[in-house]
Amino acid sequence: MSGTADKPDLNLEVEAGNFHYPEDYAYDAGRGLTAETVNYICDVKRDPDWIREFRLRALELFTKQANPTHWASKDLNTLDFDQIRYYLAKGQQAKRSWEEVPEDVKRTFERLGVPEKERKFLAGVEAQFDSEAAYSNIKQAVADEGVIFVGSTEGLHNYPEIFRPWFGKVIPSGDNKYAALNSAVFSGGSFIYVPKGVKLKHPLQAYFRINAEQFGQFERTLIIADEGAELTYMEGCTAPKFETATLHSAVVELVALRGAKIQYITVQNWSANVFNLVTKRGLAMEEAEIKWIDCNIGSRLTMKYPGVVLQGRKARGEVVSIALANSGQHQDTGAKMIHAADETTSNIIAKSISIGKGRASYRGLVRIPRHLRGCKNNTVCDALLINSDSRTDTYPAVSVRGHGNSAQHEASVSKVSAEQIFYMRQRGLTEAQALSLSVNGFVNDLVRQFPLEYSVELKRLIDLEMEGSVG
Amino acid sequence: MSRIEIRNLHASVAGREILQGLNLVLPRGEVHALMGPNGSGKSTLSKVMAGHPDYAVTAGEVLLDGENILAMEPDERARKGLFLAFQYPSEIPGVTIANFIRAALQARLPEGGELDAVEFYQTLYQKMDELEMDRAFTARAVNDGFSGGEKKRNEILQMAMLNPAYAVLDETDSGLDIDALRVVADGVNRLRGPRLGALVITHYQRLLNYIVPDHVHVMVQGRIVRGGGKELALELEARGYDWIIKEAGLTVTPEPADGAAR
């Protein structure tokens, strides 16, 4: 078993991702953001009028809203929206075969091991390079069942009858400044529809890659699981290490209709110059289940609070979150559970690790209004501090009213002790190996919920982070 | 050359000198007992040998097969073949015994070396059977929620798996009932032979009924003050330590609380 277990299955490590190719784009919206930028994107993408209106309205909302620095990191103010490039693409149409993908883009994804994984264990893959998907394909057997897996542009052009009713409904453009920004300039991302009763055995995967400097990636994903359908979606993200700030601001909307199940897995390892400001939310109808498994390593500042609106009776929502903050990084992550029907249940398990001067914050919002009956929430959030100047904070906002509803919140902070490290070193492990083993042990119960390919990769990423953290 | 030789070792913790010129030789292939009253510095010696960062060595040498190990990192000493069975082993939540031992073995392989998983589990299960440990143990997190006896068995299991050239067992008998003591002692005896030199630290003679030492060192106030055969342990049991302290020309001080000089 060890023979294959340690081989890299998904190359998400920063060193492996630290390369980029010279820029050569057919489409470039230039720097800065005005109505003109938005119109350029609409023209290039041949957006229908309703999308153009949607974008321009969102641009207004974005311009009106201030950065939320009254509660969030002041570091947000260092983002210079006039310097960012909002749209860079080589072409409009994602290719169905790797042979047709431009050579440098193909090489990028080959170096990251994407085509190989596709052959091995995936039902479908989308690979996005800067603003647009370069490649998108699903296995024939999956397509034959009526599953749609395309880019967001193709989704809104070719399947408006499914796309339009849900688009922007789970996360309205005005939800927050960065959701508004995404709504104004979005490109790329996935549109997935799984028909009634279809249960996908293998995961669908998207891979997001930033190649250009001072660039903003704004992918937009909408996933709809029709009644009784089931799917697992995985995304991986990397970018090269640039000196200047790069922005990744995605919006992901999930809709699980009656009895459907969606599992959404993220393993991201952005380089330390990336601002990662993402809004993710799911809508779970009667007896539906949405589970976010979210793993955040890397980036300069991540703000991400995956949420579930429990809209139908007996709906279930779960967030499993792992965040690792190294020096110079702030992982501001958490979860939102909005109960809106009787007998809904939600679970949040969040674990964070702070290394060096790294900072991990947990923000949790749980709301159960007075008129509901039989709702339950359980929240566990554990923090592990590696060094004495590592930092962690917890900001829970729990509002549970009414009779017969319950919420539990447990939080713990622990520190890797010098005795524990000495004990492991006495067995022959180096300091980095010992730290790495401690950290892996801390998140072990959560990592087990990941598909094997991802848990192996995650372990490797943790090892690499710990190696770098020992002086 | 195949021996640990400690020469004029001085070491202190928090500014207090605990080891005050200690000399000791442990040849590979022999089992020695280290006895002494509480607070004499027995546990300190084990920590200093293993390289615990809280202890400062101010003079002397610890030679492992002729090579001074005092400048080495704790893990380097371990990979040279020095094993310490802890009196109070640490808990490592979330890390299973199997994974921990595997990581420790893996750390001993050359770069790129790969442990044979099948062989590893075969050996692990065999050693566990010998120590009367349930196989379910492999999936439990290291020392997490273990009883005192389980922790000590786990130490001996690791020792059996890592095959050290030299082992220091720090008060392995403390907190054990008689059955556990027998199992642990059997485990150590099974490893006895030309390839292992063991230093068994104990406050009581009881353990030495099960692990019969080739030699007994008596430690008082940070030094070895007397050595002898296994009958010395029995004499200490019968007469206590005061006579030895007086013979060594030292003054008898009241014993500090157990473990105060750990």
Contact across the interface for B104 and A428, Cβ inside 8 Å: yes
> How far apart, in whole angstroms, are the C-alpha atoms of residue A147 and residue A361?
38
Residue A195 in domain: yes
The parent domain of residue A458 ranges over 419-471
Nearest to A429 among B83, B104, B114 (CB): B104
Quick one: closest CA in B to A6, which residue? Answer: B114
B100 lies in some domain: no
Considering only CB atoms, A424 lies closest to which of B84, B92, B94, namely: B92
Flag if B107 and A433 touch (Cβ within 8 Å): yes
pLDDT of residue B261: 43
Distance CA A103, CA A101 (A): 6
Spell out the residues 6+ positions from residue B147 whose beta carbon is closer than 8 angstroms to its own: none
Check if B140 contacts A (Cβ < 8 Å). Answer: no
- Listed in order, strand segments (DSSP E) in chain B are 3-13, 16-27, 31-35, 55-64, 67-68, 82-85, 92-96, 141-142, 166-170, 197-201, 215-220, 223-228
Do B95 and A443 make contact, defined as CB atoms within 8 angstroms? no
Q: Quick one: pLDDT at residue B36? A: 93
Once rounded to an integer, what is the mean pLDDT over residues A231-235? 92
Higher pLDDT, A462 or A355: A355
pLDDT, tens digit, 9 for 90 and up, residues A381-438: 999 999 888 999 989 899 999 888 999 999 999 989 899 999 999 999 999 999 999 9
Contact A55, A38 (CB under 8 A): yes
Whether residue A54 lies inside any domain: the answer is yes
Q: How far is it, in rounded angstroms, from Cα A431 to Cα B177? A: 35
How many domains does the structure of chain A reveal? 2
The answer to whether A148 touches A155, Cβ cutoff 8 Å, is: yes
- Domain boundary (A280, A304, A328) is at A304
Interface probe with B: pick from A322, A424, A436, most Cβ of B within 10 Å = A424
**B97 interface with A at CB cutoff 8 Å:** no
Contact flag B100-A437 (C-beta cutoff 8 Å): yes
Residue B104 and residue A429 in contact, taking contact as beta carbons nearer than 8 Å: yes
Please tell me the predicted confidence (pLDDT) of residue A27.
85
Residue A242 confidence (pLDDT) = 63
For residue B93, the chain A residues in CB contact (below 8 A) are 441-442
> Into how many domains does chain B fold?
1
Q: Do B103 and A431 touch (CB under 8 A)?
A: no
**CA–CA gap between residue A467 and residue A162 (Å, rounded):** 48
Q: Is residue A8 scored above 70 in pLDDT? A: no
Q: Which domain holds residue B210?
A: 3-87+148-247
As a whole number of angstroms, the longest Cα–Cα distance in chain A is: 68
Could you tell me which chain A residue has the CA closest to the CA of B90? A420
In a domain, A336, yes or no: no
Evaluate whether residue A457 is within a structural domain. yes
Considering the domain architecture, whether residues A280 and A425 belong to the same structural domain is answered as no
Q: Does B72 touch chain A (CB under 8 A)?
A: no
Q: What residues in B contact A424, CB-CB < 8 Å?
A: 90, 92, 100
Q: What percent of chain A has pLDDT over 70?
A: 93
On whether residue B107 sits in a domain, the answer given is no
Query: Residue A387: what pLDDT?
Result: 87
The pLDDT confidence band at residue A287, using thresholds 50, 70 and 90, is: very high
Of A1, A2, A422, the CB nearest to B74: A422
Q: Residue B261 falls within a domain, yes or no?
A: no
CATH number at residue B16: 3.40.50.300
| Residue B54 domain flag | yes
Chain B residues in contact with A434 (beta carbon < 8 A): 75
Which of residues A135 and A197 earns the better pLDDT score?
A197
Helix orientation angle between A431-447 and A418-426, rounded to the nearest 10 degrees = 110
Q: Do A433 and B103 touch (CB under 8 A)?
A: yes
Is residue B217 assigned to a domain?
yes
- Judge whether B29 lies within some domain: yes
Any idea which residue has 């599953």 for tokens? A147
Query: Residue B178: how many CB atoms within 10 A of its CB?
Result: 8
Classify residue B243: in a domain, yes or no: yes
Which pLDDT does position A470 carry in this prediction? 67
Tell whether A326 is covered by a domain: no
Q: List pLDDT tens digits, range A131-180.
A: 887 777 888 888 899 999 998 999 999 999 999 999 999 999 999 999 99
Per-residue pLDDT for A90 more than 80? Answer: no
A420–B108 C-beta distance less than 8 A:
no
Q: Decide if B168 contacts B201 (C-beta within 8 A).
A: yes
Whether A69 is covered by a domain: the verdict is: yes
Exposed/middle/buried for residue A161 (C-beta within 10 Å: 0-12, 13-18, 19+): exposed
A268 lies in a domain? yes
In angstroms, what separates the C-alpha of A3 from chain B's closest C-alpha?
A: 7
Per the domain annotation, does A366 fall within a domain?
no
Is B124 part of a structural domain of the chain?
Answer: no
- 3-class DSSP assignment, residue B184: helix
Q: What is the pLDDT of residues A57-82, one digit of tens each?
A: 999 999 999 999 999 999 999 999 99
Contact A278, A304 (CB under 8 A): yes
Interface of A with B (CB under 8 A): 1-3, 6, 417-420, 422-431, 433-434, 437-438, 440-445
Query: For the whole model, what pTM was predicted?
Result: 0.85
